[in-house]
Amino acid sequence: MEHIRTTKVEQVKLLDRFSTSSKSQTGTLYLTATHLLFIDANQKETWILHHHIAAVEKLALTTSGCPLVIQCKNFRIVHFIVPRERDCHDIYNSLLQLSKPVERVQGWQLVDLVEEFDRMGVPNSNWQLSDANRDYKICETYPRELYVPRSVSKPIIVGSSKFRSKGRFPVLSYYRKDNEAAICRCSQPLSGFSARCLEDEHMLQAISKANPTNRYMYVVDTRPKLNAMANRAAGKGYENEDNYSNIRFQFVGIENIHVMRSSLQKLLEVCGSRGLSVNDFLSGLESSGWLRHIKAVLEAAIFLAKAIAFEGASVLVHCSDGWDRTSQVCSLGSLLLDPFYRTIKGFMVLIEKDWIAFGHKFSDRCGQLDGDPKEISPVFAQFLESVWHLTEQFPQAFEYNEAFLLQIHEHVHSCQFGNFIGNCQKEREELKLKEKTYSLWPFLLDEQKKYRNPIYSEHFSQSFAVLEPDTVSFNFKFWRNMYHQFDHTMHPRQSVLNHVMNMREQNKLLEKDIKELEAKLGHHATKEETDAAFTKEPLRSVHPVSPVHKTLECFKKEQPLLRANDCIRTIEGANAADNRYSEYMEELSKTEPGMVSLEYGVARMTC
């Protein structure tokens, strides 16, 4: 609270940055220890978490007031006009302090990797759980529990780790039970132009032999070939096929974190420009290269998934250090192969396994700490956007919807939950996040109704051996709800998804009403049967019955009831005039009261 000088400013205007008429909303701006809150005249609230703020800019004073522009990490941009420059200056200085990254915030217990690998069918006769990294002595950025080929000994693991960047030796990421093919991950080898390592060569051979259905394996380098060759000059590089038996090498050409950061910045500049023509917007989108990078990531994952599913070959994936592009390709490849990861619970497990546990540097890449800005890059955001493109092509195959992906992206930057804090498991354990904080996943599961895809079909999802998305250029589109989710004037008046969800809820209510009515009808029918059982034999009167009454009753049973619109039927003649019984029928059709003798009392009845 020591950074807050002004807690409340009235008559503040919130501008619509895409309105051509400088449309604005007037309200009151509040500054708290955790949020910036704006309440307009209609009592609509706009909350901005301090941890979401990426930049604050105070523009030159105008006749209407002092402009204050706030850019957030989740792509929200708000433009305030504060009436007094002094108030604007106070808010500006307070936000600069309050939005600074703090030392560390909360975190929580992660998904059990042992349980997940047990679901895959590991350990087995070819793969084992190794305790070589139990104390993080071999690789600090790997988890404690690692799965390696059963034929591999600890000296081979140690030797291979020394030949790999950051000590990230090849380990199992995903195992396909039906054909025994595996996805493994690691970092680039320290091969330079000619160096080799027998332990590392033995490790790759053991991975290949752990798959008895195929003799060869792929080694996928996610970098552009030119970049990998440049790393050779620094003593790093890629595997030499002459030194490794039964491997097939493949480059897939995903750019590094610096290119991705620059590409996103260009994209945001296009998104934030007002009054662009369609041609200018599309050319700006193309020149940013963002969708081209998404396409490259998806194509790499498709190559991996097809190699596993159709060729039955194991695949080893790496980039430079094995925690950015490697995480993207391994997780997306697993998503294409396994329907479990296309469920809400499975997607959480996938993120925990391939991103959090295997050491994606969330603190550095998301700018949670005050560090090198060159380490910031939208690697995880690209993964979420790639998943969104898959949900667009296969809408029935995913249990979760777009809102689920957006909510995860929101909390990657919010620091309200501890899942995405820290760069690796060891760091999280040192911070004792398990004892101090909460996990994001229970929060999402409690509200999973909001995140369920209404057209999801479990049968449809499981009917595919592997999802094969089409990566032609026109299938990639701008994700409006990610980059313009807070610009409500740009949204369609009616969301198709919201409309489907509302119809689904209405159908549930109608089904509930039908069941209640059916239950009432069943209860009513049971009651009628019970009443009929009691009234089947009515009690007989103790008084004698009049002979006249007996006659009338007997006659009543013999005569059929005549409808009002029925004519009197003839017996012998063709018409009523020739029928000698017609007058008797007319008499009988009259409703006159019958009298009984006084000795039985007087009663009036209708025959």
Pick the catalytic residue from 66, 184, 271, 319.
319
Alpha-carbon gap, residue 309 to 422, rounded angstroms = 34
SS3 567: coil
Q: Are 406 and 470 a contacting pair, CB within 8 Å? A: no
Map residue 220 onto helix, strand or coil: strand
Give CB contacts under 8 A, 24+ apart, made by 129-134. Answer: 130/154, 130/157, 132/157, 132/158
Q: DSSP letters along 519-557, please?
A: HHHHHHHHHHHHHHHHSSSPPPPSSPPPHHHHHHHHHHH
β-bridge pairing 66-72 and 605-606: unpaired
Residues 6+ apart with CB under 8 A from 117: 123, 129, 147, 172, 175
Angle (CA) 356-411-143 rounded to 5° is: 10
- Respond yes or no: is residue 139 known to be catalytic: no
Using a 10 angstrom Cβ sphere, with 0-12 exposed, 13-18 middle and 19 or more buried, the burial of residue 369 is: middle
Two structure tokens written together for 20 = 């051509």
Concatenated DSSP letters of 99-165? TSPPS-----PPP-HHHHHHHHT-SSSSEEEE-TTTTSSS-TTS-S-EEEETT--HHHHHHHHHTBG
* Closest to 381 (Cα-Cα) out of 459, 305, 474, 485: 485
Mind telling me the catalytic residues?
319
